Structure formats: structure tokens, C-alpha cells
């Protein structure tokens, strides 16, 4: 264990509950490395999570941490940020959390543009409950609730967030760990709502049922299918078939941050009070 | 304080909450509670507070819990369908012991029901609406004046005992406007949750003697963990049966330790009454009218009115009904509070339910008819 781990993790809570070969630890490592690089005081960071394997991350990190209800992490986080804007608020969700049960909260968080950073662990499966397909499971994959293969079309989380109005959207993977740290740093520094979708691997509940022989093979899949967004722009569309873009996908500074706008409301209310 | 105002029940709730120091509101529009959101939207920014219109009631409940984690006093308001949606997060606030207040202006249900006729159909849901055993305080005012004072008290009880508190209004009470003359006893105090003791190690879910652990606001240097998983005194998940049993008994038992502070029951001519009416909320207005009229005619009728309806005032009811000829429980539902009254009375006195579910208020006339039959 390195210095960063000792500094930011609750080492007395180890070992964690994640399976051997799980990608969640890589994401947690990338995140605390990002916090270290950002130089945030641990007392000033609030980490909010939902339910599922990803939800457990808050218990392992030494910040103000809250493990909320399934799908509702963004709602809790919204209350924290609005009530104490000084805090740096990070929200951790799984794909089920973010785009199934909590989909409504996600699109509205994107629309409002409150200065928080969401990290979405997209492992394309419900892991904690033992491998049911999620809204991001690709077509014709196997899951316990799709014994004959999935038929549902899947969501592209990053595109969904761009469409809903998020002002910083990036996609990383558990393979490209250093890139992931960079993206989290940039997302945190962005004044507004930022989303970092992380394509990660669940070897036990996704890989095993879908012809991946090992966690390493799943990481290699990410390496082979993740194409830098800048490079993807120059590639013929058919070469991108079955692949996904990684890196910074969208950034806008045109839409004002929510609390800045709310300042206007407070000003107007006070002027009315005086008159 | 002796200033007269024309206030609706809903507006009075907002004034009471603001007086108790509420600076955060998150909600979603729903009749007949919407005026509460409207008033908070107008008043909170003037006080440096935050009004937030969320995407639904689930998010509203989540947002007030989040705000409360920072030490900010937070409220939401809703009605039937929205109140049902809030139940999971109310359970969360109960087990994570995060103070918050929910104003539920009852409407006719189930489902979309009869928009928007009054009802008292949520009496049991306020107590038992979430999965698992959870504590809750429920307060049911019956006038605009009381809505002011009791919403203030709801905020303070929530802060003091780290428990969700529900202000149980109904459509009639929410929408009626009446002259309110505030007196000294209506003054709302500002009470805040107790914080960690400096110099003492902080245990966020300490098994304290008074049953209520200290609360550290997020961003004050105490980095701890909050979870809806059953946790030990440190706040981290446990499945050790002894620890699970300890916290569940403390969290669910803490209100019993302070029951005299939490309960508030009002008596009208109850001592020498032969017939006793037990009523709450707007139905108690009808019952009160019956007592007034019949007493003028020399008839021995009285009323017991639980203001704190949960925890149910067992002792007050048991004492009040002793030796009576009969008890009447009028309600705008098919009989919810009457089950509690029957449990407490335990057959000592006949208990008569008087129920209306046609979307109209139980009138003084029909209560009076039953009283006269029984006298």
C-alpha cells in the first residue's frame, strides 16, 4: 500500500468486500490520486454513494461520507452542496443506480448544473444481486434475468448526460487508470455538474457468463475497444462499430453554475424585501 | 406577540418552520400542500436560505436529508401520493438518525383518489409506512394557530431526538384561512441538535444514556460515515447480532425515554364527561363544536385530542376513558386511530367508530346524533 492509500483510505475497514479481479478498487485508487493532485482538504470533501457494489466505496474513504438509498445519491448530494456550497461534493453510482432507478435524478442534475462531480461505475450488470442485466448491458449478452440473451437496447450514459445538459462529460475505463485520474481532476475543477462515466469490469457476474476467461481479458477488451475521442473523430464510422470513445467528450462554460444563478434569486428577494 | 393575522393552515406551517430556524426546503408540487412550497420559495431566499424544487418527492426527501447532514434545518411538504414515495427515505432518516421534518397535508386516497378532498387516511402510514421498524414523531394540529406552533415544535423535536417528524395536516386545515392571534405561549424556540463534545472521542452512533447520540455536521472536521445499513456505534455496517440488536432497540426505544416531552394531548371538558370523543386534526374542530353545544344544554360530553398522535398517547387516553359510558372516535377514514384507542381501552369502555369516506368532513351534526344516542 502506498502513501496515498494510507492518507485517504480507512485502512481499518480493509479488506473491502469487492471480489478478486473487480474494477472498483482501480476506480477508487484513481479517485484518491485525483483528490491528492487537487490538494483538497479531506474535511472539505463529501463523498456520496448509492446502493450496489459501487455504493460501498464511501465506507472505505476518509472523507465526510454518506451511503444513501438506491438511485438517490444525487438527490442527497444536491442537498449537501446547496446547504454547504464550500464542500467539494463527489457522487458515486453504479449503472443501475445512475440510469435505471436513479435516471430521473441524473438527468435533472445534468440540467441544473450544480457544481458536483459524478463518477458512474458502468460494469454493464447488477453485480451485488448476482448478475441481472442493466440498462447498459449490450444486446445479446447473458444475465440471470436474460437466460436467452438480452433484447433491451442499451443506454450510452455519457451521451445521455450530454443530452440532458451536463457541462462536463468524460468517459474513462478501469484499464486506462491514469487517464481516469486526469478526467476526475478536470471534472472536479470544472465549475458545474461534471460526469465521469467509467467502463469497468465485473468478472464474476458479467465476465463469467459472457465468455471472458479472466479479469485481465476484460481489461484487454477495454483497451481494444476504448478509442481516444480525438482519434475517433478522424476514424471512419464503420471502424468505430462496437467501440466506444474515451477521454473528455464534452465541455461547456456557457451555462451558468446553479448556485451562481441562485445568488441572483437571493439578491432579487432581498431587494424586494427592502422596497 | 398579540398580533392578529389572517393565516391559512399551510402558511402557518411555513411561518412556524421559519421561526424554528428552517433554512432549507425541497419539494415537488402537489395539491393540497403546494402553498407551503410557494411560501418557502418566497421567504427562504430573503433569509439566505435555499428553496429547491426537485424532480419528484423521492428526490425532495433525499435533498432534505442531505441538507440536514450539514447541520441545516430542512423541511419538505407533500400529500398522499408524494408521501407514499417518501417512505423509503423516511426510513433512512430514521435509522441514520438525521433530523428532518415532513409536512403531509392529507388528501383522499388511495392512489390519485379524490382530488382534492380531505381525508385522514394516512394516520397509519405515517407510523408504519416504511419497511422495517422505525421510530417517528407525528404531530397533528387542528387550527392555523396550532399549525404554526406545532410545526415549530416539530422542527425542535426532530433536532433534539434525531428523528424524522411528520406534521400531519389535512386539506381542510391546510386551506382554511382563519384569524390567528399569537400569544406568548405560541413563541417558537430555536433548538438545535447537540454536537460532539470537544476533547472527547466522537462516536457518531454512541449508545448514550439519553438514547440520542451527538451529531457532527458535515464539513466540521469529523470525518465519519453515514449509512442506511445497520451500523455499530462507529457508524460502519455490522451484522453482529448483539450490535444489531443494541442499535435497533436504542433507535426504536429512544422516544419512549422522553415521552413526556414529546406527547401533547388536549382535553376539553373530559373529566366529568360521560361520553368522550377522541379526535384529531380538522375532525377535532367538529368534535369541539359538539362539546361546546351539548355542554350548553347541560349534557356531559368531552373531548380528548391527541396533538402528538405518534407515539400514541396511551397513558393519556387510558386515564381519560376510565369510568366513561362510551368513547366515540370520529375519523375521515374507515377506522385507523380507533384501532389504537381500542388497543388502549382494552374493552374497559365501549368504543364507537364514526367514519366518513365520501370526501366530506365529519360534521358536528352527525357526531352529536351519536352522542345523544349513547347518552
- The ipTM value here is 0.97
Residue A275 is predicted with a pLDDT of 73
Residue ranges covered by each domain of chain A: 3-274
What total number of domains does chain B contain?
Answer: 2
Whether B222 is in a domain gets the answer no
- Nearest C-alpha of chain B: how many angstroms from A68? 6
Which residues on B lie below 8 Å from A59 (Cβ)?
225, 227, 236-237
B359, with CB counted inside 10 A (0-12, 13-18, 19+), is: middle
Give chain A positions within 8 Å (CB) of B225: 58-59, 65-67
Q: How far does the CA of residue B329 sit from the closest CA of chain A (Å)?
A: 38
> In this complex, is the C-beta atom of B55 within 8 Å of any C-beta atom belonging to chain A?
yes
Q: Which of A43, A59, A66 sits opposite B219 (nearest CB)?
A: A43
Domain boundary, last residue among B161, B186, B211: B186
B177 CA: distance to closest CA in chain A (Å):
24
Chosen from B59, B91, B100, B221 to mutate, greatest number of chain A CBs within 10 A: B59
Give the C-alpha distances (Å, rounded to integers) separating B95 from A64, A69, B78, B238, B284: 18, 12, 22, 13, 33
State the pLDDT confidence band at B2, using cuts at 50, 70 and 90. Answer: low
- Is residue B229, in this structure, part of any structural domain at all? no
- Judged against a pLDDT cut of 60, whether residue B274 lies above it is answered with yes
User: Which of B186, B217, B234 is the last residue before a domain boundary?
Assistant: B186
**pLDDT given for residue A33 in this prediction:** 98
Q: What is the mean pLDDT of residues B257-276?
A: 98
Residue B242 lies in a domain: no
Same domain, B63 and B156: yes
Please answer yes or no on whether A65 and B224 come within 8 Å at the CB atom: yes
Question: What count of CB pairs under 8 Å joins A to B?
Answer: 139
* Dihedrals phi, psi of A215, to nearest 5 degrees: -55, -40
CA distance A180 to A226: 13
Domain extent at residue B317: 265-374
Digit-coded pLDDT (tens) for B307-317: 999 999 999 99
Q: Which of A69, A74, A84 minimises the CB distance to B218?
A: A84
Q: Which residue of B has its CA nearest to A104?
A: B55
Distance from CA of A49 to the nearest CA of B (A): 10
Task: Tell me the mean pLDDT in the region B245-262.
Answer: 98
What is the average per-residue pLDDT within B283-294? 98
Q: Is the pLDDT of residue B184 over 90?
A: no
Q: pLDDT digit of tens for each residue in chain A (275 aa)?
A: 589 999 999 999 999 999 999 999 999 999 999 999 999 999 999 999 999 999 999 999 999 999 999 999 999 999 999 999 999 999 999 999 999 999 999 999 999 999 999 999 999 999 999 999 999 999 999 999 999 999 999 999 999 999 999 999 999 999 999 999 999 999 999 999 999 999 999 999 999 999 999 999 999 999 999 999 999 999 999 999 999 999 999 999 999 999 999 999 999 999 987 77
Instruction: Tell me which residue has cell 439519553.
Output: B210
Residue B223 C-alpha cell reads as 470525518
pLDDT of amino acid B345: 97
- Nearest by Cα to A83 from A48, A55, A107: A48
Q: Which residues in B lie closer than 8 A to residue A272 (C-beta atoms)?
A: 46
**B254 within some domain:** no
Check CB contact of B28 with chain A, cutoff 8 Å.
Answer: no
Q: What is the CATH number of the domain that holds B107?
A: 3.40.50.970
pLDDT at site A2 = 83
Nearest-by-CA chain A residue for B60: A75
In a domain, B226, yes or no: no
Q: Considering the domain boundaries, does residue B210 fall inside one?
A: no
The answer to whether residue B240 is domain-embedded is no
Residues A110 and A98: their CA atoms lie apart, in Å, by: 12
Chain A residues touching residue B18 (CB < 8 angstroms): none
For residue B70, the distance in angstroms to the closest alpha carbon of chain A comes to: 6
Indicate yes or no: CB of A80 within 8 angstroms of CB of B59.
no
Interchain pair A75, B63: CB under 8 A: yes
B367 φ/ψ angles, rounded to the nearest 5 degrees: -65, -45
The reply to whether B244 touches chain A by the CB within 8 Å rule is no
Q: Are residues B182 and B269 in the same domain?
A: no
What's the fold here for domain A3-274? Rossmann fold (3.40.50)
Looking at the domain assignment, is residue B244 inside a domain? Answer: no
**Residues of chain B found within 8 Å of residue A44, distances taken between Cβ atoms:** 219
Q: For A79, which of B64, B222, B237 is closest by C-beta distance?
A: B64
Same domain, B288 and B175: no
Distance (Å, whole) CA B105 – CA B141 = 11
Considering only the beta carbons, identify the residue of B23, B62, B236 that sits closest to A76. Answer: B62
- Which CATH number fits the domain that encloses residue B358? 3.40.50.920
Residues of chain B in contact with residue A67, where contact means CB-CB under 8 angstroms, are 225-229
Question: Which residue among A65, A66, A75 places its CB closest to the CB of B59?
Answer: A75
Q: For residues B228-235, give the mean pLDDT.
A: 98
Cβ within 8 Å, pair A87-B228:
no
- Same domain? For B165 and B45 the reply is yes
Arithmetic mean of pLDDT, B259-276: 98
The answer to whether residue B45 neighbours chain A at the CB level (below 8 Å) is yes
Domain termination residue (choose one: B137, B167, B186):
B186
Per-residue pLDDT tens over the stretch B109-156: 999 999 989 999 999 999 999 999 999 999 999 999 999 999 999 999
Residue of A nearest to B22 (CA): A83
pLDDT tens string A150-192: 999 999 999 999 999 999 999 999 999 999 999 999 999 999 9
Whether B1 has a pLDDT exceeding 70, the answer reads no
Cross-strand partners of A9: A61
Shortest CB distance from B62 goes to which of A58, A67, A68? A68
Amino acid at each position: 500500500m502506498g502513501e496515498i492509500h494510507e492518507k485517504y483510505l480507512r485502512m481499518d475497514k480493509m479488506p473491502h468486500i469487492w471480489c478478486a479481479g473487480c474494477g472498483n478498487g482501480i476506480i477508487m485508487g484513481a479517485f484518491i490520486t485525483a483528490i491528492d493532485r487537487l490538494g483538497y482538504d479531506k474535511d472539505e470533501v463529501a463523498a456520496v454513494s448509492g446502493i450496489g457494489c459501487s455504493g460501498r466505496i464511501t465506507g472505505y474513504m476518509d472523507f465526510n461520507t454518506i451511503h444513501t438509498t438506491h438511485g438517490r445519491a444525487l438527490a442527497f448530494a444536491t442537498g449537501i452542496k446547496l446547504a454547504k456550497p464550500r464542500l467539494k461534493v463527489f457522487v458515486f453510482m453504479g449503472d443501475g443506480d445512475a440510469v435505471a432507478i436513479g435516471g430521473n435524478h441524473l438527468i435533472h442534475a445534468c440540467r441544473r448544473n450544480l457544481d458536483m462531480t459524478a463518477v458512474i461505475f458502468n460494469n454493464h450488470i447488477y453485480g451485488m444481486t448476482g448478475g441481472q442485466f442493466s440498462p447498459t448491458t449490450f444486446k445479446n449478452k447473458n444475465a440471470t434475468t436474460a437466460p436467452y440473451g438480452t433484447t433491451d437496447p442499451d443506454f450510452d450514459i455519457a451521451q445521455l448526460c450530454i443530452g440532458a445538459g451536463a457541462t462536463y462529460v468524460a468517459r474513462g475505463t478501469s484499464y486506462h487508470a491514469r487517464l481516469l485520474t486526469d478526467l476526475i481532476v478536470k471534472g472536479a475543477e470544472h465549475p458545474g455538474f461534471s460526469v465521469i462515466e467509467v467502463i469497468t469490469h465485473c468478472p464474476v457476474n458479467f465476465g463469467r457468463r459472457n465468455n471472458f476467461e479472466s479479469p485481465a481479458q476484460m481489461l484487454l477488451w477495454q483497451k481494444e475497444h476504448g478509442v481516444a475521442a480525438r482519434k475517433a473523430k478522424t476514424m471512419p464510422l464503420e471502424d468505430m462499430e462496437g467501440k466506444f470513445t474515451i477521454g473528455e467528450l464534452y465541455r461547456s462554460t456557457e451555462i451558468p453554475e446553479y448556485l451562481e444563478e441562485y445568488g441572483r434569486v437571493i439578491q432579487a428577494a432581498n431587494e424586494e424585501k427592502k422596497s | 406577540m398579540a398580533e392578529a393575522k389572517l393565516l391559512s393552515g399551510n402558511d402557518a406551517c411555513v411561518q412556524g418552520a421559519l421561526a424554528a430556524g428552517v433554512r432549507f426546503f425541497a419539494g415537488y408540487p402537489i395539491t393540497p400542500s403546494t402553498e407551503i412550497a410557494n411560501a418557502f420559495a418566497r421567504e427562504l431566499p430573503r433569509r439566505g436560505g435555499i428553496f429547491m424544487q426537485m424532480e419528484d418527492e423521492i428526490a425532495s426527501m433525499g435533498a432534505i436529508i442531505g441538507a440536514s447532514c450539514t447541520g441545516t434545518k430542512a423541511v419538505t411538504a407533500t400529500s398522499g401520493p408524494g408521501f407514499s414515495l417518501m417512505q423509503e427515505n423516511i426510513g433512512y432518516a430514521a435509522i441514520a438518525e438525521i433530523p428532518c421534518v415532513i409536512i403531509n397535508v392529507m388528501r383522499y386516497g388511495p392512489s390519485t383518489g379524490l382530488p382534492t378532498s380531505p381525508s385522514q387516511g394516512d394516520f397509519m402510514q405515517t407510523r408504519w409506512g416504511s419497511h422495517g421498524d422505525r421510530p417517528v414523531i407525528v404531530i397533528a394540529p387542528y387550527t392555523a394557530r396550532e399549525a404554526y406552533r406545532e410545526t415549530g415544535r416539530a422542527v425542535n423535536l426532530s433536532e433534539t431526538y434525531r428523528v424524522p417528524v411528520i406534521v400531519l395536516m389535512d386539506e381542510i386545515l391546510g386551506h382554511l384561512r382563519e384569524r390567528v392571534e399569537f400569544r406568548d405561549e405560541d413563541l417558537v424556540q430555536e433548538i438545535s441538535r447537540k454536537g460532539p463534545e470537544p476533547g472527547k472521542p466522537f462516536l457518531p452512533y454512541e449508545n448514550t444514556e439519553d438514547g440520542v447520540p451527538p451529531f457532527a455536521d458535515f464539513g466540521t472536521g469529523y470525518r465519519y460515515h453515514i449509512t442506511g445499513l445497520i451500523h455499530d456505534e462507529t457508524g460502519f455496517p455490522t451484522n453482529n447480532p448483539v450490535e444489531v440488536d443494541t442499535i435497533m432497540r436504542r433507535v426504536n426505544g429512544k422516544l419512549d425515554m422522553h415521552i413526556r416531552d414529546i406527547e401533547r394531548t388536549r382535553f376539553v371538558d373530559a373529566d366529568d364527561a360521560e361520553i368522550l370523543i377522541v379526535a384529531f386534526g380538522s375532525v377535532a374542530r367538529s368534535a369541539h363544536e359538539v362539546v361546546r353545544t351539548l355542554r350548553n344544554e347541560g349534557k356531559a360530553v368531552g373531548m380528548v385530542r391527541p396533538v402528538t398522535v405518534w407515539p400514541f398517547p396511551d397513558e393519556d387516553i387510558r386515564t381519560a376513558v376510565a369510568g366513561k359510558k362510551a368513547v366515540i372516535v370520529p375519523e375521515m377514514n374507515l377506522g385507523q386511530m380507533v384501532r389504537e384507542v381500542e388497543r388502549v381501552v382494552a374493552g374497559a369502555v365501549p368504543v364507537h367508530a364514526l367514519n366518513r369516506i365520501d370526501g366530506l368532513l365529519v360534521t358536528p351534526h352527525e357526531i352529536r346524533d351519536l352522542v345523544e344516542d349513547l347518552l
